[in-house]
Chain A
Amino acid sequence: MAAIEVSGLTKQFQVTVRGAGIGGGLRALFRPVRRTVTAVDAVSFTIEPGEIVAFIGPNGAGKSTTIKMLTGILYPSSGAATVLGLTPWRERTKLAFRIASVFGQRSQLSFHLPPRDSFDLLAAIYELDQGAYRKRLAELVALFEIGRLMDQPVRKLSLGERMRCEVAASLLHRPEVLFLDEPTIGMDVIARQAMRDLIQRLNREEGTTVLLTSHDAGDVEQICRRAIVISQGRTVFDDTIATLRREYLGHKVIDLTLSERAEPLQYPDVRCVEHSQYRMKLEVDTSRQQLDLIVAHLVSRLKVADIAIQDPPLEDVIAAIYRRAS
């Protein structure tokens, strides 16, 4: 049985255009001005147990709406979905015992108390037997290395430490499916790597299915084996990361700030993306060209004030995918 099965899932909203304040709210109630927005448009995909899937898309693409439907918070306009064999919006409570969701912006832990107290509450929320809870807590504390954090107030923890506790908290009840939304947002390099390692270990040791929403290309490339790309409510890519990497992430962007104006230099397999007075952006096909040679050449020939080497923004990748698809 698939872990998550989605077929033709559609969600349309009636957006009421309203003014500000109480007056606007009341007016909207009695004489509303409406328009229909299709947030999710016949999305279909299947996720097998144990997969780690990246769920990518620009803001407003319909990702969170889809996830809300899969967790039973919203019900769809049409289409079907099952998670672990259950229809989320109809059997929400039953499903809630078997899944978990962690949102980077939304905390599950009480801000002024140590994580331990919030964990105790979660044990009660998920009706965990005391003995089983203690054992599980010890496991998670060891895995996430949060032993010395458990008794400090959450407000004293760094973002990375807090997120480790949040993810650990979400795993107390051994969920079979984990929805992770931007787990590494705002974190420094080390914390981010630690989180990625943890997610991979979790998946390896407990077979938890993970649906990861992230804007971070590093998260996507390192942890996930598959990516589903959503744009304007529709799936525009559903394939392995290897394919994504091969076809779309094989570029690096060199962003130059010059102290003296110059014309862009020409190289094979290098495209000039942007050129203005003191700015130059070059896109290098790294499967065909050697990045370091290009950089060395540029620096030797131009008066470079600043240089940055970046991955192509995910938005560009998605836009490219969408262009390809349509």
Chain B
Amino acid sequence: MTAAALTTRACTRRRTLRLRLRKYGAAFRVSLLSQLAYPAELWLRSVFVVVIMFIFSSLWHTTFAELGRATLGGFTLGQMLWYLALTESILLSRPRDALRIDEEVRTGQLAYQLARPYNYVLYRFVTASAERLPRFLITLVIAGAMATAFSGELSVRPASLLAGLPVLALALAIDYCFVLSISLLAFWVEDASPVLFIYDRLLMLLGGMLLPLSLFPGALATVARALPFSTIVYDPASVIVSGDGEAWALLVLRQVVTLAVALMLALLFFRYAVRRLQTNGG
């Protein structure tokens, strides 16, 4: 192989890689734009965020006042409200027809999607992220504003928020992998939505959306902390709010491991699903 040939080879590979990635970028863009095409929808959903934040702010405000304490479960009032803002942004941002895989399996559309020139899992991840992003941002902005207004102070350091981005991204990625695995269950179970429903409720309760895990009674708290749900909800939110660098590092580690496992699970499911599709024809 001449040097020229080798260089050309590398260039071609790089170019092909760029081309390959471009289609995902395009998919991301299209998904994002279609979300933004209906701004009324986004604003209407914001009403719900406002209501929930208002109610929970009142709840915690009252609780803190009644007990005359400055911190509860390791959070000040302001931190508690920001914690809520973050957990809600993570959980409420998932679009209703989260991955559409369930539907695609049921209608048989999946078979056609596999024939397309892209990696199905990656493609769906990209479109799901694009749909989730505007919802996440709007929810965070509104909920964060309300948290600040209600507590009278900005309880989160902007630096922490910035540092929190990777942690949040990892959380959403883990969630995606779990939802993907559940949706693929549609290959074996008629309808995967009940399982998704249970998963959501477990996230809300044991993940710590409604009540931080630090306020759980002893035994339950231990169990909840050990479950992967906390890497999606409680841990990211509390790490950002506390600004604790060491906890941040530990969390990233934990999330990476969880993501690896979740990803393996999802890919395994996908492999089996495709195999089943190829033998049964969907």
Contact = CB atoms under 8 A, between A and B. Distances in A.
A159 B106 CA distance: 25
B115 interface: no
Interface in A142-168: none
Nearest to A23: B40
Contacts of A308: none
A21 B42 CA distance: 13
B37 to A, nearest CB: 10
B44 to A, nearest CB: 8
Interface in B26-45: 38, 40, 44
Interface in A10-25: 21-23
Interface string A7-44: 00000000000000111000000000000000000000
B43 to A, nearest CB: 9
Contacts of B38: 21
A94 to B, nearest CB: 43
A21 B44 CA distance: 12
A23 B38 CA distance: 11
A181 to B, nearest CB: 32
A27 to B, nearest CB: 12
A29 to B, nearest CB: 15
Contacts of B44: 22
Interface string A208-226: 0000000000000000000
Measured as residues with beta carbon below 8 angstroms from the partner, the interface class of chain A is: under 10
Interface string B1-45: 000000000000000000000000000000000000010100010
A182 B105 CA distance: 37
Contacts of B40: 21-23
Nearest to B44: A22
Contacts of A22: 40, 44
A210 B122 CA distance: 61
B217 to A, nearest CB: 45
B40 to A, nearest CB: 5
B42 to A, nearest CB: 12
Interface in A210-269: none
B69 to A, nearest CB: 44
A173 B44 CA distance: 47
B34 to A, nearest CB: 15
B46 to A, nearest CB: 13
A13 B122 CA distance: 53
Contacts of A21: 38, 40
A21 B38 CA distance: 9
Interface string B36-61: 00101000100000000000000000
A21 B41 CA distance: 9
A22 B44 CA distance: 10
Nearest to B43: A22
Interface in B135-175: none
A25 to B, nearest CB: 10
Nearest to A21: B40
B212 to A, nearest CB: 36
A22 B38 CA distance: 11
A23 B40 CA distance: 8
A23 to B, nearest CB: 6
B56 to A, nearest CB: 27
A295 to B, nearest CB: 44
Contacts of A23: 40
A6 to B, nearest CB: 44
A128 B40 CA distance: 49
B142 to A, nearest CB: 19
B48 to A, nearest CB: 16
B136 to A, nearest CB: 23
Nearest to A22: B40
A257 B44 CA distance: 55
B94 to A, nearest CB: 23
A87 to B, nearest CB: 43
A22 B42 CA distance: 12
Nearest to B38: A21
Interface string A94-112: 0000000000000000000
A284 to B, nearest CB: 47
A223 B40 CA distance: 51
A216 B271 CA distance: 53
A296 to B, nearest CB: 48
A22 B40 CA distance: 7
5 contacts: A21-B38, A21-B40, A22-B40, A22-B44, A23-B40
Interface of B: 38, 40, 44
Which 5 pairs, one residue from A and one from B, show the smallest C-beta to C-beta distance? A22-B40, A21-B40, A23-B40, A21-B38, A22-B44
